[in-house]
Structure 1
Amino acid sequence: MTAITMEDWHYLEISELAPLLKRRALSPVELVRSQLDRIESLEGRLHAYARVMAYEALEAASTAELEIERGNYRGPLHGVPVAVKDLFWTRGVATAAGTTIYRDFVPQQDATVVRRLREAGAIILGKLQLTEGAFATHHPTLSPPVNPWGANHWTGASSSGSAVATSAGLCFASLGTDTGGSIRFPCAANGLTGLKPSWGRVSRHGMFELAATLDHVGPIARSARDAALLFQAIAGPDPLDPTSQLTTVVHDTASFDSLRGLRIGLDSAWNARATDGETLAAMESVVRALQALGAEIVEVKTPESWHVAGEWEVLCGVQTAVAHADTYPARASEYGPALSRLIDVGRSVDGMRYQRAILEGMAFTGRMTALLDTLDMLLVPVQPFAAPTHEQLGALAQDPELNQRLIQFTAPFDVSGHPALTLPGGLTAGGMPIGFQLVSRKGAEGLLLQAGQVFQGATQWHRRHPQL
């Protein structure tokens, strides 16, 4: 095999890496060893991994190398090192879900998405750190991941380890989950591309539950093209998850070279509600780029969502209380303050209020579905303030309305189940990433991913990396 010398292997996109592996210009074993060395070098600063699966990864790399040598190439994920949020079961390897209660839980089977990644030939490097139970903050006894772009800045809620590892070159892509924004926030904070699929499009079997009707599983990657590769591998019906959609995901091999003919909705008033100047400037730049690519920008009025964002905690809290009923309140002293508070909220909500929150969410879903039936997609910020610092987040924790502001552009789409693609679209004056999201009809992930590829073909925001 002809060796390849490449200084920045760790920042390659999967779509660039796959041809090298396929033609054996790059060895999966060599690649995994390089990744493990980089993890060892940087993990002490970044705390992205809950646990590294070095032995398992090297064994899988040896198998992949032999298969490729024999001509048994499985596809573009074959031999590619990825990692998964420590919410997903991994057979024989502990899955703690960011808690201390489950730190010794060793599942006897893989989550469906983990199994599907392995079947596609991907190599699992390890389990990525997350907030406790995938809620707001990390358990106080665990070291939270550090944003590689700026240590004093937010890493973006529960899929923080997934985004930090992908952004810092500690894996080539990862899996995350999104219940109130936890794929989209980390991608915006770390300059990445992330897909929150339609609810039920990806199986939730074998993952710790936060809130069953709000939980979404999706890829975190360096480009829309890479996100599409992961989505194609993990999506589709699963008999082990009766809530998964029965429609098989078919990869659309056609590609756009422009956005001509696409109608993209823009609610300027909604997007500007309490949104800071740097975020608005980035959004204006994105609009100009989309127009230059041929998209028609249509001014629209989105359904009222402020109260839906405000009631998200009611919906999430009740469902989280159900998910933790076996251990809370029986082992309440082992919980951190944020998750405890959410569960206490859920346990205290009466049925009348919960039903009103459900009905309001259903009304929003119907109105948003009707709006998206007239458009190809909707352009929305990820959050109203760019790259918040830890100090700003501390203020959020003390002010429910500030927290409602934070999730006003994300949580409503977890309630409605519409797919959303987050893309990097700018930098703050301090050099921190700013993201935006495109939202579309249920089942239209392919359209979003194609549009994202066109945007990234004309821009370079996704090509920027943190200086480490």
Structure 2
Amino acid sequence: MASSTTTSANSGLEFRELHEVSELIRSGRLSSRAATEAMFDRIDELDPHLLSFVTLMRESALAAADDLDERLARGDWLGPLHGVPLAIKDLAYTHDAPTGAGTTIHADFQPDFDATVVARLRAAGAVILGKLRLTEGAFTGHHPDLPTPVNPWEPNTWSGVSSSGSGVATAAGLCYGSLGSDTGGSIRLPSSANGVTGLKSTWGRVSRNGIFPLAPSLDHIGPMTRSARDAAIILEAIAGHDPNDPTSALEPVPRYSLQLRLETTPVVGFDRELAAEHFDDVTNEMLESTIEVLLDLGWRVLDVRTPGFAEAAQEWTALCGIETAGVHAENYPSRSAEYGPDLAGLIEIGRGLSAIDYHELLESRRAFTGRMLALMSDIDLLLLPGIGAASPTISQMENLGSDAELFAGVTIPTAPIDNCGMPSITLPAGFTERGTPLAAQFVAGDFKEGLLLAAGHTFQQATDFHRQHPHIVAV
């Protein structure tokens, strides 16, 4: 497979944004059946090389598309997801397809119910094309016996973790949007690496019922799409309290997709000291270019000091490891030989920590969260990169799961935001010299997803990075 830099967003149906395909279907200019068949044709052509799907749900998807076309013909339109083909990260339960969570141990696990997010997407009219690959157990490394999705921009470029299949499929035009999960950056890292828009909502904003966990108090579910507008449509469908997840928030769900106009001029905070100390020159050039766009939009950008991001990123691994050890207690260490080295290493870290260690980590996490709340009370948005290194290559990320310094460096702009549970949006914001994507990230206060989506939409109206797509040639 070969890739060149970009191709026009209007070159074909495959790179249309979700809301555009929605309108084509609603108006009768495109059937859900035709859209779904087109996606499967493209998957058949390209995914043998990209390896983003672990399971295709062809029969059920086409049956759903036919049913949705019939409903639309009767005047029964379910909303902006009606008939639109999407794909799901393979840690969300589906009653009609296995959910392996990137493992070999659970590869044949067949749930008897849908995850709440999947049920809500189906109820909103989405067509589920299939399940997307992820790293083992949603940590840093793909299981040695399973394929690794290939970045469609450039095959030697890292495709991100853990929602690698979601990032690749969405960027490559194999679906019109996908679901990912984020525990330390797993929506934002692959969104950055593959040049798509990723939204990590406030912890509890989206139900985790029927989601295979990595670390429950850090896990978030969210959309990965071609634009902030598309992310708003998906979030609107999946967000909201769920009685089956008692940790899901009671906050009402706004009509995000109808509220994409900023009501006030945002105040954006940027920590130049953090950037100079921890991010490379290419990343910092992208951030400065982003700031220029924001200033041209009339936004205010203030210098701020962020509260101990490097320390929070380092502590994340221990916090996650303790919870992951609990999640896998049934199979680890009794079946440890079936685990890959990265997930096994994380579990061993967790098993090696004491109750006192955990207490100290929790106290540090609470203090960090309090300092973040104080920071966000003075600004509307915090500007960060979507990843701590500019479009890394596969070889640079080879030891991500075992090199604590490398992991902390990559996740400095992502893991701390999971520690405090605040929402953020990752937006395409530039390209490297080799033509691979770069991304900026906005963080907002709890339950300010509407602000993030409106800010992201405004940024994307002033730029065209999200409209650039990889040109993929199957070989």
Q: TM-score range by the shorter chain?
A: over 0.9
Alignment of 1:321 onto 2:325: yes
The answer for the alignment partner of 1:228 in structure 2 is 232
Distance (Å, rounded) in 1 between the aligned partners of 2:321 and 2:304: 32
Q: Which runs of 5+ in 2 are unaligned?
A: 1-9
Distance (Å, rounded) in 1 between the aligned partners of 2:260 and 2:181: 27
Distance (Å, rounded) in 2 between the aligned partners of 1:74 and 1:259: 28
Residues 260 and 296, structure 1, Cα contact 8 Å, conserved in 2 = no
How far off its partner does 1:260 sit? Answer: 5.8
Alignment of 1:243 onto 2:247: yes
How far off its partner does 1:135 sit? Answer: 0.5
The answer for the alignment partner of 1:159 in structure 2 is 163
The answer for the alignment partner of 1:52 in structure 2 is 56
Q: CA RMSD in A?
A: 1.2
Distance (Å, rounded) in 1 between the aligned partners of 2:275 and 2:64: 46
Alignment of 1:386 onto 2:390: yes
Alignment of 1:144 onto 2:179: no
In the alignment, which of 182, 187, 193 is matched to residue 191 of structure 2?
A: 187
The answer for the alignment partner of 2:92 in structure 1 is 88
The answer for the alignment partner of 2:5 in structure 1 is none
The answer for the alignment partner of 1:311 in structure 2 is 315
Distance (Å, rounded) in 1 between the aligned partners of 2:107 and 2:264: 51
**Structure 1 residues 41 and 404, CA gap change in structure 2 (3 angstroms):** same
After superposition, the C-alpha distances for 1:395-425 in whole angstroms (9 at most, x for unaligned) are 5455321221111111001010000100000
- Look up the SS of the partner of 2:179 in the other structure: strand
In the alignment, which of 72, 82, 86 is matched to residue 78 of structure 1?
A: 82
The answer for the alignment partner of 1:3 in structure 2 is none
TM-score, normalised to structure 1, is 0.97
Residues 260 and 294, structure 1, Cα contact 8 Å, conserved in 2 = no
The answer for the alignment partner of 2:447 in structure 1 is 443
How far off its partner does 1:341 sit? Answer: 0.8
Residues 259 and 454, structure 1, Cα contact 8 Å, conserved in 2 = no
- Look up the SS of the partner of 2:289 in the other structure: helix
In the alignment, which of 321, 336, 339 is matched to residue 335 of structure 1?
A: 339
After superposition, the C-alpha distances for 1:55-74 in whole angstroms (9 at most, x for unaligned) are 01000000010011110001
Equivalence map 1:281-300=2 (5 Å): 281-300=285-304
How far off its partner does 1:17 sit? Answer: 1.0
Alignment of 1:213 onto 2:189: no
Alignment of 1:131 onto 2:157: no
Residues 201 and 236, structure 1, Cα contact 8 Å, conserved in 2 = yes
Structure of higher RCO (CA pairs closer than 8 Å, 6+ residues apart) = 2
Q: How many residues align?
A: 462
Alignment of 1:113 onto 2:122: no
Residues 259 and 290, structure 1, Cα contact 8 Å, conserved in 2 = no
Q: Which runs of 5+ in 1 are unaligned?
A: 1-5
The answer for the alignment partner of 1:369 in structure 2 is 373
Q: Structure 1 stretches (4+) deviating beyond 3 angstroms?
A: 395-399
Amino acid corresponding to residue 152 of structure 2 in structure 1: P
How far off its partner does 1:275 sit? Answer: 1.2
The answer for the alignment partner of 2:21 in structure 1 is 17
Residues 166 and 220, structure 1, Cα contact 8 Å, conserved in 2 = yes
TM-score, normalised to structure 2, is 0.96
Amino acid corresponding to residue 79 of structure 2 in structure 1: G
Distance (Å, rounded) in 2 between the aligned partners of 1:97 and 1:407: 22
**Structure 1 residues 397 and 101, CA gap change in structure 2 (3 angstroms):** closer
After superposition, the C-alpha distances for 1:178-208 in whole angstroms (9 at most, x for unaligned) are 0000000000000100000000000000010
In the alignment, which of 55, 67, 70 is matched to residue 66 of structure 1?
A: 70
**Structure 1 residues 96 and 395, CA gap change in structure 2 (3 angstroms):** closer
Distance (Å, rounded) in 1 between the aligned partners of 2:232 and 2:299: 21
